[in-house]
Homo-oligomer: A and B are copies of this chain.
Amino acid sequence: MTENIGFIGLGTMGKPMALNLLKSGYKLTVFDVEGSAIEALVSEGAIAASSAKEVAEKTEILVSMLPASQHSLAAAFGPDGYLSGLQKGSTVIDMSTIDPDTTRQIAQGVTEAGGQMLDAPVSGSSAWATTGTLTIMVGGDRKVFEEQYSLLNCMGTNIIHCGEIGMGETVKLANNLVAGVSMVAVTEAFALGISKGADPKVLFEVMSKASGNCWTLQTRCPAPGVVGDSPVNNEFAPGFMTDLMYKDLGLALAAASQEKLPLALTAIAHEQYGATSRQGFGKLDFSAVAKLLEMNQNV
C-alpha cells in the first residue's frame, strides 16, 4: 500500500495515530504548528509540509487531529489552511473533538471546494492511540465511511458509523458526558464510604458486582492501592486530562443549550472539573477531580 495520506496535528494523540498509519504502510505528508512535532514524524519516514495548504496540495486524503474548534477552523479556513489548496475529490477526516456546528461549517467549506468530509472523533487515551485500539465515532456519508474504513482501522478497533456529518461529534459528546459524570459519582461514593470507615477494596468489590459498576470505576478507581493501573496510583498521569474533560462537558452543554435542554448533572460535573483545573490539576488525569473531596490528601 503506498497511498499518500496527509496528517495535520501531531500532538499527544495525533503523533501515535500518525505513527500507526506509517507502520501500516501508508506514505504520510505531515504538518503541525510545532516544527519539532513534524521532525519527530519525519525521522520515522514521513514527509514534511510547510502548511496545511501544502498538505492539501500533495495528498487527496487529509486527516486532522487538533485540540479544539478554533484550531480546526484555522486549519481549514486560515490563510494557509487546507481549503486554499484542496484538490477536487479529496476526503477530509477531522478526528478532533469539536462542537458539531463547527464540524458542519467546515464540511460545508470542504463540499464547496469539491471535496467530501467525515468527522471521526475518538474515545480512548494516548496509550490506546499507540496500540491502535481507539474507538472511532464517524459522521458523514456512508459510502465515504466505507471507503475510509481500512484507514481508520489502522488507528482504532471499534469504528462506528453514527449518521450524517456531525454525528460522530454528537455521539462522542454524549458518551463523554456519561464518563465525566460517572467519574464524579464514583468519587462521591468512595468519599462517603471512606469517611465512614469502609475499606476501599470492599467498596470496589461490591460496586464491581452491583448496580454501581461502570467504566470509570474499573479504569479510574479513585482510592489509592485498589486498582493497580488507576491514575491515582501514578500521580494522576493521564490518560485523559481534566482540561479535556472540562472542554468536552462544556461542548455538550453548549450543544444542549441550543435546544434549551437542561442537563443539570452535566452542568455540575462541568463546574467540578473547572474547580479541579483551577486548583492546578488541569493537566492531570480527569480522575484528579477526586482531589476536591480530599480523598487522596495522603497520597
- How distant is A37 from chain B, measured CB to nearest CB, in Å? 26
A82 at the interface (CB under 8 A from B): no
Q: How far is the CA of A177 from the CA of B211 in the complex (A)?
A: 9
Among the 9-residue stretches A42-50, A69-77, A147-155, A267-275, the one with 4 or more Cβ atoms under 8 Å from chain B is A267-275
The count of identical subunits is 4
Q: Mark A212-231, 1 if CB is under 8 A from B, else 0.
A: 11111101000000000000
Residue of A160, A178, A209, A211 contacting most chain B CB atoms (<10 Å): A211
A219 CB contacts on chain B under 8 angstroms:
211
Q: How far is the CA of A171 from the CA of B261 in the complex (A)?
A: 27
- Closest B-chain residue to A182, C-beta based? B182
A162 CB contacts on chain B under 8 angstroms:
198-199, 202, 206
- How distant is A43 from chain B, measured CB to nearest CB, in Å? 32
Instruction: Indicate if the CB atoms of A271 and B282 lie closer than 8 Å.
Output: no
- Closest B-chain residue to A139, C-beta based? B198
Contacts A137-B206, A163-B197, A184-B265 given; does A260 touch B278 at CB 8 Å: yes
- How distant is A168 from chain B, measured CB to nearest CB, in Å? 9
A181 at the interface (CB under 8 A from B): yes
Other-chain residue from B190, B213, B215, B257 in contact with A212 (beta carbon distance below 8 A): B215
Chain A positions near chain B (C-beta within 8 angstroms): 100, 123-124, 135, 137, 158, 160-164, 166-167, 170-179, 181-182, 184-186, 188-193, 195-199, 202-203, 205-207, 209-217, 219, 240, 246, 250, 252, 255-257, 259-272, 274-275, 277-278, 282, 293-294
